[in-house]
Amino acid sequence: MKICIAQTKSEKGKVQENIQNHLRIIERAIKLNSDLIIFPELSITNYEPDLAKEFATDIENSIFNPFQELSDNKEISIGIGMPTNSINGINISMLIFQPTQKRVVYSKQLLHADELPYFVCGNDQTILNSKGMKISIGICYETMQREHFLNANKMGADLYIASVAKPKDGIEKAYKHFAQIAEEFNTPILMSNCIGQCDNFMSVGQSAIWNKNGELVAQLDTNNEGLLILDTKTEQTEIAQ
Residue 82, phi-psi category: left (phi > 0), alpha (psi -120 to 50), beta (remainder): beta
Mean pLDDT of 164-172: 97
**Contact predicate 138/147, CB 8 Å:** no
Q: By residue range, what is the domain housing residue 171?
A: 2-240
Query: Which CATH number goes with the domain that contains 155?
Result: 3.60.110.10
* pLDDT given at position 232: 95
Mean pLDDT of 6-20: 97
* pLDDT given at position 8: 98
* pLDDT given at position 186: 97
- Look over the chain and give the mean of its residue pLDDT values, rounded to a whole number: 97
* Amino acid at the residue 27: E
* pLDDT given at position 131: 86
Which among 74, 43, 48, 83 has a CA at the least distance from the CA of 163?
43
pLDDT tens digit string along 99-146? 999 999 999 999 999 999 999 999 999 999 988 899 999 999 999 999
d(CA 57, CA 182): 34
**Contact predicate 203/195, CB 8 Å:** yes
Indicate the pLDDT class of residue 86, thresholds 50, 70 and 90: very high
Mean pLDDT of 11-21: 97
Question: How much of the chain, in percent, has pLDDT values that exceed 70?
Answer: 100
Mean pLDDT of 172-182: 98
* pLDDT given at position 130: 87
pLDDT at residue 211 is higher than 90? yes
Q: How many domains does the chain have?
A: 1
* pLDDT given at position 52: 96
Indicate the pLDDT class of residue 63, thresholds 50, 70 and 90: very high
* pLDDT given at position 164: 98
Indicate the pLDDT class of residue 171, thresholds 50, 70 and 90: very high
Residues in the chain: 241
